[in-house]
Amino acid sequence: MDRKLKLLISDDSKLLRKKLRAELEELGCEVIEAENGKEAIMKEMEENPDGVILDIVMPEVGGIEALQVIREVSPDVPVVMLSSAGTPQKLMQTLKMGAIDFIQKPYTSEQIKRAVEQIRKRVKKNG
């Protein structure tokens, strides 16, 4: 049995975090929540999650800025971007900055499952 993946999810929508948490827990993950990019950065440093799922549009610090900082402090942690504001430019920008995947909202359970698989693979490789 694999150990539980510890994932940090950051989105300013409480409803979305609740739904995402339920899906991730069903996939056997431990979930930490943050409601904006600033909190995401703090929790990433404190909790050392195996992976991060970041919304792009958030108050205080947006997902792209958060991704930048997380990349600097934890270059190996896999980050998946989640957004309804997914322009191709933003998509390319986040992938260039090191995000491993980009999920368009509204997302499907299938997309979340795939993202978790990708994170799990990377954790195995790096671990």
Identify the structural domains of the chain with CATH numbers, from first to last: 5-126 (3.40.50.2300)
| pLDDT tens per residue across span 81-107 | 998 876 888 889 999 999 999 999 999
| pLDDT tens per residue across span 30-58 | 999 999 999 999 999 999 999 999 999 99
pTM comes to 0.94
Helix (H) or strand (E) holding 103: strand 101-104
The tokens 């504001």 sit on which residue? 85
